[in-house]
């Protein structure tokens, strides 16, 4: 009778040995937790399509930030819901804007927690697009000036890192230049370098109240069918001064994540976006899947594909599961 020389089950059959030879692991240190801050007080409004995620006023944001830090998660990523919107997204770069005030509160009350801010205009414009509208389309170069102002205002408020998500050409260079000119050359930029025009963003648009009032964002976000273009986008952002590059969404683009890992040596982030989160939550609530097992398998997939940083709404749960 044939007897195989290689028996993988010798190792697999023992839990201790499985842990010892595991090639990919997940740590709370890998995680960033996204949060949605809203003007006012006493606000804690659950997002209907994202169970467990809230629009919150600053005092609740601070309380949750303390919880995040206690769980060993090193950073949060902030999005803002302004008190008013206009055609040029004025609140995005106001010294008293929602993000600026939230950053100050967290840095004052939760020392040691890194604060990353999303830099874009879509949450702040009355038309819901990521920049200045001219002739029915987003004007790239005039938008760059406002994105640079926004990033500078976030850093002046105390942000530890800025993360431009708008997908305007040249925005990393514009932000790097204004930060350096104002003495913030030590502040890193995490660029949404490879951001696809995805159907997985639906729940986020409810959370951030950022649905475009006309058209869509395919004119500036990447076509889901393009792979080689991702390398060009990432290379351009690196040349302009990005310190970390990101792929968004996560699960449908694991091949892109691996392509970037193979090509570049910079730290690499992935955004486990709202639609991915909501599908897991919905299936788990119906008893169709084991939530912990599926989420941890997803986190492992991101790390195995090459991510150093995982931005995820599951972050608090993941940190708790890892601690048990």
Residues marked active site are found at: 195, 248
Where would I find the H helices in the chain? 9-12, 15-21, 58-70, 98-109, 140-157, 171-181, 202-208, 228-240, 254-263, 274-285, 291-305, 315-323
Beta bridge partners of 139: 132
Beta bridge partners of 191: 245
Q: How far apart are the first and last CA of the chain?
A: 45
Q: What is the bridge-based pairing of β-strands 161-164 and 190-195?
A: unpaired
CB 81 within 8 A of CB 55: yes
Q: What distance in Å separates the CA atoms of residue 121 and residue 93, rounded to the nearest whole number?
A: 9
Q: What distance in Å separates the CA atoms of residue 118 and residue 193, rounded to the nearest whole number?
A: 13
User: ∠184-188-189 over CA atoms, to 5°?
Assistant: 115
């Amino acid at each position: 009778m044939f007897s195989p020389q290689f028996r993988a089950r010798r190792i697999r059959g023992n839990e201790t040995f499985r842990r010892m030879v595991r090639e990919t692991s997940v740590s709370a240190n890998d995680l960033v937790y996204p949060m949605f801050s809203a003007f006012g007080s006493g606000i804690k409004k659950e997002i209907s399509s994202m169970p467990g995620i809230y629009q919150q006023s600053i005092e609740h944001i601070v309380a949750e930030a303390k919880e995040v830090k206690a769980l060993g998660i090193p950073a949060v990523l902030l999005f803002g819901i302004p008190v008013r919107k206009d055609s040029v997204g004025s609140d995005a770069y106001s010294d008293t804007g929602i993000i600026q005030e939230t950053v100050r509160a967290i840095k004052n009350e939760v020392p040691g927690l890194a604060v990353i801010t999303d830099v874009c205009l879509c949450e702040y414009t009355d038309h819901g697009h990521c920049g200045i509208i001219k002739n029915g389309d987003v004007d790239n170069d005039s938008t760059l000036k406002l994105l640079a102002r926004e990033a500078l205002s976030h850093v002046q408020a105390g942000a530890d890192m800025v993360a431009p998500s708008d997908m305007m050409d040249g925005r990393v260079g514009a932000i790097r230049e204004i930060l350096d000119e104002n003495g913030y050359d030590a502040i890193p930029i995490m660029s949404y370098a490879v951001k696809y025009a995805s159907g997985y963003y639906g729940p986020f648009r409810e959370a951030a109240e950022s649905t475009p009032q006309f058209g869509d964002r395919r004119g500036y976000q990447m076509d889901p069918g393009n792979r080689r273009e991702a390398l060009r986008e990432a290379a351009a952002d690196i040349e302009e001064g990005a310190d970390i590059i990101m792929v968004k969404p996560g699960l449908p683009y694991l091949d892109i994540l691996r392509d970037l890992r193979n090509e570049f040596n910079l730290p690499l982030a992935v955004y486990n976006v709202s639609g991915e989160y909501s599908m897991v939550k919905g299936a788990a609530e119906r008893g169709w899947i084991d939530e912990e097992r599926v989420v941890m398998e997803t986190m492992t997939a991101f790390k195995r594909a090459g991510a150093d940083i995982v931005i995820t709404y599951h972050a608090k749960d993941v940190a708790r599961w890892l601690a048990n």
